[in-house]
Structures are given as structure tokens and as C-alpha cells.
């Protein structure tokens, strides 16, 4: 099974900051990497698919990059509504796996 | 408009079998490339993928849970059913059903989730 490791597990930042979250796969997954945002009590929401494709309706301040084993999610200028938990997910092969999550908190 | 909704018991006892139903609309599971997955999330913890069923009735399971899981579909009712046997308190979680497509296997639509508590 493929293991996904996110870092950091938590992050404090201010409105307007640029933030980067990293996800590493235990083996190459090409660009089969997706990012989700989850707010308390809500289902996750797809932000980025195929490592760098922005889901329709998602603000352009979100971007993704990477291939193989190392991936990043970048938020270019944090907005108040971006404070949430972020998960990466590999869809290269079943069983699919998620990272442990990165909780983004207000500094 | 794609929607998914989970239904099932909120409370099950240890050793019992859990049956969850996902009722969806806005797409057909008979359409090539369409899939439905079940994903769970224990309180305060990360997401865990459980199972997937495809348009052609292929099925895939979590390695650690595959002996306990069964996924099935009723295309005429637009429903997908997940059963999990021998429930344990560690299985307490919010269970989500979610749509995936074979064009990338990412979840583009999620249900609202249903909290299942395992307790005697």
C-alpha cells in the first residue's frame, strides 16, 4: 500500500501570508495526487486534482505542483475562509490513501 | 446537480454488522467511468478510504478491512450499500459516500456524512 505523509501537521499563519503544505508518497504516483480542504463538521472539498489542476470554482490563490513522490499545495495569499484542515490523497492505485492532514490556524 | 446522501444507524453494538446506504442523484452508476467510494473519518482524525464500486461492477477494498467489507449497488434505485461486519468501538467514525470518475479517481462530490458510534 502507498503511504502519504504530509508536513507540517499544523501551521499558524496570518491573513495575507503565503503558505505551502507538502505531501510525500512512499512510492512514485506520477501526478495522481489530489488536495482537499475540510472545515469543521463539513465534508471535504476538492481543491486540486492531478497534482496541479484547479477544480472549477476554486479560487486561483490555490495552486498545486509536483510529480513522482513530492507534492506541494500553495495558498498565495491567505484569506479568512482558508483556515481549515487540508488533506492530500493519492489516486494512483487502490487502496487509495490520504495524508494525515495539515491544520491551518490563524496566528 | 450531483448529490449523495448516506443513511444508516447512528449507533451499533460491538460485534454487530453495519449496513450503510448511499442514495445518489445527478449521475448514473451505469455510465462508463462512474464510481462510488466509501470513506470514513474517526472523530478528530484523518480520512480513510474504505471501498469503491465501479460502473462495470468491479469492486476494490481497503487492505486492512477487506475481510469485513462488502460493497454493492442497485443501479435501478441509484444506491450503493456498504456492509461492515464485526463492528468495534474503533470503527466509530463519520462515514462518507463519494463520487469518483475513472478520469482521475479523485472525489468530486461528497455526501454530508453520517456519524456511526459503536458502543454497547
Per residue, what are the HEC states of chain B?
Answer: CCEEEEECCCEECCCCCEEEEEEEECCCCCCCCEEEEEEEECCCCCCEEEEEEECCCCEEECCCCCCCEEEEEECCCCEEEEEECCCCHHHCEEEEEEEEECCCCCEEEECCCEEEEECC
In the three-class reduction of DSSP (H, G, I as helix; E, B as strand; rest coil), residue A82 is classed as helix
Residues of chain A found within 8 Å of residue B60, distances taken between Cβ atoms: 94-95
Length of chain A: 107
Could B106 and A89 be called an inter-chain contact, meaning their C-beta atoms sit closer than 8 Å? yes
Mean of the pLDDT values across residues A3-10?
98
Could B113 and A94 be called an inter-chain contact, meaning their C-beta atoms sit closer than 8 Å? no
Q: pLDDT 10s per residue in chain B (120 long)? A: 999 999 999 999 999 999 999 999 999 999 999 999 999 999 999 999 999 999 999 999 999 999 999 999 999 999 999 999 999 999 999 999 999 999 999 999 999 999 999 999
Q: Could you report the per-residue pLDDT of A46-96, keeping only the tens digit for each?
A: 999 999 999 999 999 999 999 999 999 999 999 999 999 999 999 999 999
Residues of chain A found within 8 Å of residue B111, distances taken between Cβ atoms: 43
Residue A44 has pLDDT above 90, yes or no: yes
* Nearest C-alpha in A relative to B102: A91
Residues of chain A found within 8 Å of residue B52, distances taken between Cβ atoms: 94, 96
Cell (9 digits) for A97? 490513501
Q: Using a CB cutoff of 8 Å and minimum separation of 24, what contacts does B56-65 make?
A: B56/B32, B60/A94, B60/A95, B61/A94, B61/A95, B62/A95, B63/A1, B63/A95
Give the contacts of B77 (CB within 8 A, at least 6 positions apart): B23
Which single residue is written with the C-alpha cell 480520512?
A: B47
- Residue B57, phi then psi, degrees to nearest 5: 75, 10
Q: Could you report the per-residue pLDDT of A22-33, keeping only the tens digit for each?
A: 999 999 999 999
Could A43 and B106 be called an inter-chain contact, meaning their C-beta atoms sit closer than 8 Å? no
Which single residue is written with the C-alpha cell 445518489?
A: B24
CA distances from B103 to A32, A107, B34, B69 (A): 10, 38, 9, 25
Note whether A34 contacts B: Cβ–Cβ < 8 A: yes
Could A34 and B113 be called an inter-chain contact, meaning their C-beta atoms sit closer than 8 Å? no
Q: How many angstroms away from the CA of B111 is the closest CA of chain A? A: 7
Residue A107, pLDDT score: 87
Amino acid at each position: 500500500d502507498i503511504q502519504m505523509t504530509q508536513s507540517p501537521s499544523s501551521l499558524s499563519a496570518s491573513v495575507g501570508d503565503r503558505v505551502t503544505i507538502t505531501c510525500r508518497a512512499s512510492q512514485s504516483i506520477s501526478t495522481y495526487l489530489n488536495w482537499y480542504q475540510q472545515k469543521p463538521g463539513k465534508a471535504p472539498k476538492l481543491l486540486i486534482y492531478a497534482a496541479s489542476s484547479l477544480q472549477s470554482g476554486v479560487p486561483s490563490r490555490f495552486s498545486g505542483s509536483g510529480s513522482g513522490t513530492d507534492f506541494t499545495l500553495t495558498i498565495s495569499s491567505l484569506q479568512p475562509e482558508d483556515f481549515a484542515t487540508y488533506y492530500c490523497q493519492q489516486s494512483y492505485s487502490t487502496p487509495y490513501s490520504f495524508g494525515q492532514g495539515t491544520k491551518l490556524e490563524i496566528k | 446537480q450531483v448529490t449523495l446522501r448516506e443513511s444508516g444507524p447512528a449507533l451499533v453494538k460491538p460485534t454487530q454488522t453495519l449496513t450503510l446506504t448511499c442514495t445518489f442523484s445527478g449521475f448514473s452508476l451505469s455510465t462508463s467511468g462512474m464510481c462510488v467510494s466509501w470513506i470514513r473519518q474517526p472523530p478528530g482524525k484523518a480520512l480513510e478510504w474504505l471501498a469503491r464500486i465501479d460502473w462495470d461492477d468491479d469492486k476494490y477494498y481497503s487492505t486492512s478491512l477487506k475481510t469485513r467489507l462488502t460493497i454493492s449497488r442497485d443501479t435501478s434505485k441509484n444506491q450503493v450499500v456498504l456492509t461492515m461486519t464485526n463492528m468495534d468501538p474503533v470503527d466509530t467514525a463519520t462515514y462518507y459516500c463519494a463520487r469518483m470518475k475513472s478520469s482521475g479517481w479523485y472525489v468530486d462530490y461528497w455526501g454530508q456524512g453520517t456519524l456511526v458510534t459503536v458502543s454497547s
